[in-house]
Every structure is written in structure tokens, then in C-alpha cells.
Structure 1
Amino acid sequence: MTKSKTQVLFVVMLAVLTAFGQCAFSQEPAPGPSQDQQRSAAPNIAIGAGDLLNIVVFDTPELTTSVRVTQDGDVNLPVLGMMKLAGLNTIEAARKIEDELRSRHLILEPHVTVFITEYASQGATVMGEVRTPGAYPTLGTRRLLDMLSVAGGLQTTAGKTVSIVHRDDPQHPVTIPLQSGSATMYAQENPIILPGDTIVVAKAGVVYVIGDVLKPGGFLIDNNTPISLMQSLSLAGGWDKTAALSKTKLIRKTSEGREEIDLDLKHVAYGSQADMSVQDGDIIFVPSSVSKTMTYRGIEAAISLTSSLLLYLH
């Protein structure tokens, strides 16, 4: 074989080997996530009494086990014995077991993974102003709106806030404002609900405006947003032309019993007297001008009417 043919053959073989190497490299699977990356993706849920844990010690099957947490928060591990894991999340528990294996010189470089395979409470509790309060499963990914829907939706008396109490941090509940109307639901904050969480839908306040007004009834007010006397009357459409504004009464329930406050809406309407805030459960009674005074029977009739309105709202 001549020198030129040898050079051509060498170039062809080099090209084939290069192409084969590129193909083999492109088919090589991407490296999987490291153990630290897998741990960082795990949900930060504290281990609790009654939970079932799957503890895997890499390349040491005799130390791998499935164990349930006792009521004292301990687990009984092979060789290591009793160890308290309650209150830790899965990452912290794995590191604690690794440290124990290392300190006892059982394994030089242990790699431990802890999974919560069964929660003592597999569900979340939905309470407050929902149609069907109770405990509902959270298997899979469940979000706030999912749980509210499973609980039958909101009552007409629901307020504008919902609180979420996490099992692993009960002292710091999270308060979330509820958006109203389909046009704003896309902006609703919708966090994931974890097993053991408690959802509490706040109750809105109710102020009753009855008597000689255009639309008497009970009107919902958010407890976190104060409402004034005049705003309450505007919800009722204002007063009729036959109303005796100077004889208006505010009936308020206190710890010492029922309190009646005389009001002169004429002075409040014209700004000569300051407006005042009303509270949840207040009754604003605007009498007709044909009645010069409001008798005890009239007050009782007003309270009876508000009770009927309350039943209607529920």
C-alpha cells in the first residue's frame, strides 16, 4: 500500500471513531441529582408520633428498616437502638443517624435517607365558615382552594381571610386574604396544604339595619375592616322619607347585657355630629315618624327580626 493511500485510510478511520465517540457520548445518561439535592427537594415536614418512617442506609441492608415513631417521639433502629427523631424533618433525621453511625465507628462515611411513608394524620382539617367542616385527605398535591372546594365551599357568612396552621409550626399560623369574584381568582394565593395542617376560614361580622329604611336586613362586614354608622345605612339603601332620624337607636350586646344608644341621624348626616363605628352584631333601628317613642315591645320586635335574618343568612 502506498503512503498516500495509508494516509487516506487513517483519516477515514479517525472520522469513524470520532463520530462513534460523539454518538456514544450523546447517549450517556445525564448524572442524577446528588443526595443533597434530593434532600433539599423533600418537603420540610416535621416527624411526629405515629408516623411510619422508611430509613435506608446506603449499601448496608442490615441497617435499613421501616419503623413507626412511638408516642414519645422515638424510633428503635437496628444496632443504634432508641433514638428521638420527632420534631426533626427528614433531612435533619438522616443527618442525625449519619452522625450516630459515624461516632460509633460503625460506618466511616454513612449515607442515610429518611422517608415518611405514612403520616399519623394523612389529612388536613378544614374549620370555620365552610359548608362541610371536617378532616379531608391530602394525598397527592392539595392546595388551599382544593381543600375549600372539598369542604363544600364557603358559607355566606365567610370573612375575607383564612388561616393555615402547620403541624410543624403551630405557633405561627399563616393568614391569607381571600379574593372574591371569578375575575380575581387567578391572583388568589394558593399554597400547598400538607398533612396535619388546619385551615380556618374566618367569620364575617354582621350588622343589622332595620326599621324605616329602604332595604332592611343583615349585612356582612369583614371583622378586620371597621364600618361606620353611615356606611351601614348606605348598605340598607338609606332611610325612607317617613323615618324619624332623631329617634334612631343602636342596640349593642355587651358582656353586661344589652345596651341601647340614642342616635340623631340628622346631625350625623349633616356633619354636625361625628360618625361612629359599628361592631359585629350591632342593630341599627330607624323608627317611623308616627312613633314618637320606641317602647320595650318595639325593641323586642327588632331583636326578633334580626334573629330571623340571621337564620336566613345561614
Structure 2
Amino acid sequence: MKRLAMWMMAAFFALTAGVAGAADVLLGAGDVLKISVYGSPDLGLETRVSEAGEITFPLVGAVPIGGLSVAAAEKKIGNLLEGGGFLRKAQVNIIVTSLQSQQVSVLGQVNRPGRYPLEGKRSLMDVLAMAGGFTADAGDTINLIRKRDGKTSKEIIDIIEMVRAGSLERDVDLTGNDVIYVERTPRFYIYGEVQRPGTFRLERGMTVLQALSVGGGLTQRGTERSMRIKRRDAAGKLETIEAKHDDLLQTDDVVYVRESLF
């Protein structure tokens, strides 16, 4: 419940941060535009921005608009119509009917994974909210994968800690083709003389004693004085550790509760 409340708070911050208008969209290859010119219905058309970032417009020919905002593209086409002597005062209107160039991918443990358009300025939390938030199996961290100047980078962001600390400077603005991957929650395993052996969510700072509680406690034959942790080291080798109550568990630890000898 605490984790759910934290996610709801994060979504609230995202949705109340303000949404930019369509005029802030930067146009790019693949975008489909519906263009009209006031008083000149014969100049209206629907077209797609080419891979070179251009459209072909009546009377003026090829117009490079890739990287421009909608407002800037409207002004550019208007200036070309006026500069060519075709219209005295050109009032151009552009509606983006399909935004293909500015999309981000949201994958992993979210309720609605997929590709989402960046219709204006969108932050990480905005897009996570658009994807329906975390599933019950989601962990607290996300991977943000970005490509800039031909180089790919990966940043791990702890969403829950970001909200707890109010560090919203990590709620970065996204650009087209960014990838958000929400990790699956870390798990631990417990078996032996416990009431509910199985696989469970590993909470932050979880101790062996807390893990025992999650497993329903001891059976009549179990003992807290004889527990072991099976854990793989950095090289992947399995090691067995005599467990103490306050030992902290790690991802994929296996806790074995042995039977009392008396």
C-alpha cells in the first residue's frame, strides 16, 4: 500500500506539471500534416514529412521543416508564399494528424506498454503516467536509454527515491526514440520449515527475520536458530551462509529454514 501511494504521488506530480501545446511539437520524418491556407482552399493538402525533413507544397516546391515547431513551419510556408508573390498575406495553419517522429517506447512492467507520442514537452513521469503506471510486479527503478549524437547511453533512475526526496530534477524531459524500461521487482525465495514457502518480493532493507515473517513464520518443527542463505557471488558461484536475524537479503537469495533437532 505504501508503494502504491508513492506511485500515485509521482503520477500526481507528472500530471500537474503542465502540458505543452501542440505548437511546441518539433516536426520530423514520418509526421503527417494537414495544411490549409486561409482564403485559398486550392492550396490545402495532407502530406507526410520525408526522411530528408521536407514537404512539397504547391507553388513553392520543397520546403525543409524538419526540426521546426508547428508555428515556425506555418510561418516559413507563409513567408515563401508571400516572397514568391503568390499571396499578399498568407495565413497558414498546420494540424499534425499523425506524430511519428517524436515517440518514446515504454517497456517492461507498466500497465500499457507501447509507443507514445511526445505531443509537446513531456517528462519521464508524464510518459509513465500515460503508460498507466507500474504493474504489481514492477520494481522501483527504471532504465532510461537514449541516443544522442550517435552515442547510446543508459541511466538507472530510482523513481520511488526520487519522489521521496523530492528530487524532480531527475524527472528529465524526453525526446523522440527514447526508451523507458521498467524493471521487474527483485525477488527472494524461502523454503523449508515455513508456513508459506515460495517466491516473494524483496523489499528495501529486508532482513532474514522479515523474510521469515513474509513466509508465514515457522512450522511447528522449524527453528530460527538454524537458517541458511544460498547466494551466488559476483562470479556466479553458489555459496551458503549461516543466516542471522538482522542479515540483509539480496536479489535472488534463497532462504532455507531447517528443522529443529529438539
Into which bin does the TM-score normalised by the smaller protein fall?
Answer: 0.5 to 0.7
Equivalent-residue separation in structure 2 for 1:83 and 1:236 (angstroms)? 66
Question: Counterparts of 2:74 and 2:192 in 1: how far apart (Å)?
Answer: 68
What's the CA shift for 1:116? Answer: 1.3
Match of 2:247 in 1: 276
Task: Compute the displacement of 1:263 (Å).
Answer: 2.5
Cα offset, 1:165, TM superposition: 9.4
The counterpart of 1:42, out of the listed 11, 16, 22, is: 22
1:210 matched to 2:210? The reply is no
Instruction: Please identify the structure whose Cα radius of gyration is greater.
Output: 1
Cα distance in structure 2, aligned partners of 1:70 and 1:103: 24
What secondary structure is seen at the aligned counterpart in 1 of 2:72? helix
Unpaired runs of 5+ residues, structure 2, are 1-19, 118-126, 147-151, 161-175
> Does 1:92 find its partner at 2:72?
yes
Tell me if the contact between 1:164 and 1:175 (Cα under 8 Å) persists in the aligned partners: no
Q: Quote the Cα distance in structure 2 between the aligned partners of 1:249 and 1:232.
A: 12
- Quick one: which of 192, 208, 212 aligns to 1:229? 208
Shift of 1:211: 1.5
Residue 237 of structure 2 aligns to a residue in which SS?
A: strand
Q: Are the counterparts in 1 of residues 112 and 131 from structure 2 also a CA contact under 8 Å?
A: no
> Comparing both structures, which one devotes a greater share of its residues to strand?
2
**TM-fit CA distance, 1:75:** 1.3
CA distance in 2, matches of 1:279, 1:97: 60
Quote the residue 2:54 is aligned against: 74
2:229–2:256 CA contact under 8 A, matched in 1: yes
Q: CA deviation at 1:81?
A: 2.8
Q: What percent identity do the matched residue pairs reach?
A: 27
Aligned to 2:231: 252
AA aligned opposite 2:66:
A
Higher relative CO (Cα under 8 Å, sequence separation at least 6) belongs to 2
Q: Distance in 2 between matches of 1:78 and 1:161?
A: 50
Q: Indicate conservation of the 8 Å contact 1:247/1:262, yes or no.
A: no
The separation in 2 between residues aligned to 1:208 and 1:201, in whole angstroms, is 22
Shift of 1:49: 1.8
- Structure with the higher helix share, 1 or 2: 1
How high is the TM-score relative to the length of structure 1?
Answer: 0.50
Aligned residues: 213
Q: 1:285 aligns with which of 242, 256, 259?
A: 256
Deviations 1:255-308 (A, max 9, x none): 41133242243xx3xxxxxx33322211111222349xxxxxxxxxxxxxxxxx
**TM-score, scaled relative to structure 2:** 0.58
Unaligned runs of 5+ in 1: 1-39, 138-142, 178-194, 269-274, 292-314
